[in-house]
A and B are shown apart, each in its own frame.
Chain A
Amino acid sequence: MGIETYIDYLKNYDGPDVTFMEVCGSHTAAIAKSGITKVISPKIHLVSGPGCPVCVSPSGYVDRLIALARQPETTVCTFGDLLRIPGTSESLNEAKGSGASVEMVYSPMDVIALAKEHPDQTYVFGAVGFETTVPVYTVLMEQVESEGITNIQVLTALKVMPPVIRWLCDNGARIDGFIAPGHVSVISGSKHFEALSREYGIPFAVTGFSPKELVVGIYGLLRMWEQRQKLLAEGESLTKNFYPSVVTHDGNVIAQAKVEKYFEPGPAVWRGMGEIADSGLYLRKEYAALDAGSRGLDEDHKINKACRCDQVLMGKITSEECPLFGKVCSPLTPQGACMVSSEGSCYQRFLNR
């Protein structure tokens, strides 16, 4: 079938209203940029879930990074997006303006060079991310270990997808299907979502990021949803891989083994949602010396009481339904994390109205 056939099907869909959620920041951006919502039937609702790792990090994590950056002989290094996320009273960028030692880096490996150049300074890497990014941090760990570098630590806010998807299903987010994250699936494999789809009877479509891949993925999701009773009765899986060029059933087992070596699951707080069991990854006890205090950073403070980032992250409201959206809250004056990151749903909604 040509892409037009898929588009026509989605355009002419006239069944019950369905809500599909993507849980990947890159999908948030790709969907907004594709203009797909203006092409498909208004009965197909696309909502953004907690797919931006920066957006779901609680304020307690940012506060801890700032506290570290204010310690003598300590520099916090992290990615650009994290610099602007509001903590309880300020962001890392604001802290930097008043003397805290903060450096933006493009790769965790940049920290190695800094640490070697300044052996008397301790470098703390603010390591946020999902399954996709964690293997990169294990490469940093390996290098720190093998070269015996003693002045690098990490403060982690690492999270995994299945527990939060389960939490959403259990907590009243009425989702009919998930556009499963393509990048996460490269590492974890499409099998990552099979248990969830079986347990909740909800289809998962592992999908790529180009406009055409999105069309195919959403079409596949809709068809699975329409045929779910039949598929379930026949014992068919409701998880399908529509991104086979890079995603396999089992994922990248080498990367998975590295993650397993350094990290173990534990409870994590998601901004606006609270603590979710086993949804975080923490350095194992053997590597405690590398950890700058990542556990128990639970404080989750709202800078603007009216901010509804939490509802947006759960797909319960669209960005436009937040009373602050586009008024006091814009990319230049973000009131919540969803408006800060380029992967945040409010940021993308603002930019691609």
Chain B
Amino acid sequence: MVITMAHGSGGAATSELIDEIFAKAFDNTVLNEMEDSAVVEGSARIAMTTDSFVVTPLEYPGGDIGRLAVCGTVNDLLMRGATPKYLTCGYIIQEGTDVELLRRVATSMAETAREAGVTIVAGDTKVIEGNGGIMINTAGVGFVPEGLEISATRIQPGDVVLVSGNLGDHHATILGSRMNITNQIESDNAPLTDMVATLLAHKIPVHCMRDVTRGGLATVLKELSDSSKVTITLEEESLPVSPAVRDFCGLLGLDPLYMGNEGKMIVALPAEAAEEALQLLRGANYGADAVQIGVVTEGIDGHGDLLVRTAIGGMRQLDVLQGEGLPRIC
């Protein structure tokens, strides 16, 4: 069966779609009330965020748009030290979408939400004309402990920068799928819940965390160096990239520094706390490949810089991604 405009009418077909797919997948006491809005328990400090997800293909090695839509929002909450609690989701579905695909996406979304420890408490469905696509918006609420200040502006000279694992996996997966390239690369899309919870539970003095998404590590760290007005110097040889992704990038002329992930984060923290933090990250879910990649020094003339020392000892200054990261021609 495929989605038709009738599924967006607000009538019987809409109810059936919601009951059959979403209510079944997301099943929880708040959502099951089916009221106009969800009423939930709160906290003195909350973090809120929203993100919209558009990805082609909808299902790819290692994940799908449903998993992505949970991870993206949950990870943004986590990066401020919040414990993610509630999600809302809005589905915009194009007519012609296979209902079984929709069920798989919703089921994957529900499983990922359980893994990340969040409850999907409200939702919405719209059907539009089109050719079988799905777009999802999620908004999230998390509770922030009193006194915890983790922010893009708090990176300081004397800090070091850690990354939780290999770069570029998600980007390479999506590009590979679109180009019909068969390889072993899988998306890393994952909630960072366990890693963040472990660091905070052990009172690691984290100054800043940021998930490495679109634009890649270089874009993220350049923005952070600007926000904190510091110089971040990376060691090229310590940047973790899997051999498969490295070769993929080599073939297509892409730079792993500018390729997106959906389950990796950087952590900036005082150098003396780095070793314990690395051990904790490596013991947590999705953190096995965590390494230190750089050091933080004073900013020059009050602005931020991102530098990388190359394998042959050269120094390269990095900027944010310009335009799109496209494969080269020759």
Contact = CB atoms under 8 A, between A and B. Distances in A.
Interface of A: 3, 7, 24-26, 29, 32-39, 53-54, 79-81, 84, 106-107, 128-130, 132-133, 183-184, 209, 211-212, 215, 330-332, 341-343, 347, 350-353
Contacts, number: 98
Nearest to A132: B330
Ordered nearest first, which 4 A-B pairs have the shortest CB separation? A35-B314, A331-B322, A80-B326, A35-B310
B317 interface: yes
Contacts of A215: 312
Given A80-B324, A351-B319, A352-B317, A34 B312 contact: yes
Given A33-B316, A35-B310, A215-B312, A129 B326 contact: no
24 contacts: A3-B312, A32-B316, A33-B255, A34-B314, A35-B308, A35-B309, A35-B312, A36-B310, A36-B312, A36-B314, A38-B314, A38-B315, A80-B324, A84-B323, A132-B330, A209-B250, A211-B314, A212-B311, A212-B312, A330-B322, A343-B253, A343-B328, A351-B318, A353-B319
B25 to A, nearest CB: 33
Contact of B329 (A35, A81, A184, A352): A81
- The listed residue with most A CB atoms (<10 A of its CB), out of B309, B318, B327, B329, is B329
Contacts of B317: 352-353
- The listed residue with most B CB atoms (<10 A of its CB), out of A3, A33, A128, A330, is A33
B323 A26 contact: no
Contact of A35 (B175, B316, B322): B316
Contacts of A341: 329
Interface size class of B (residues with CB under 8 A): 20 to 34
A45 B329 CA distance: 26
Nearest to B314: A35
Nearest to B324: A80
Contacts of B328: 25-26, 29, 81, 342-343
Given A129-B329, A130-B330, A343-B253, A351 B322 contact: yes
Given A350-B319, A351-B322, 11 more contacts: A24-B330, A25-B328, A26-B253, A32-B316, A34-B314, A35-B309, A81-B328, A215-B312, A342-B253, A342-B325, A347-B322
B324 A35 contact: no
Contacts of A39: 312-314
B179 interface: yes
B45 interface: no
Contacts of A7: 312-313
Contact of B312 (A211, A331, A343, A352): A211
B175 to A, nearest CB: 8
B182 to A, nearest CB: 14
B24 interface: no
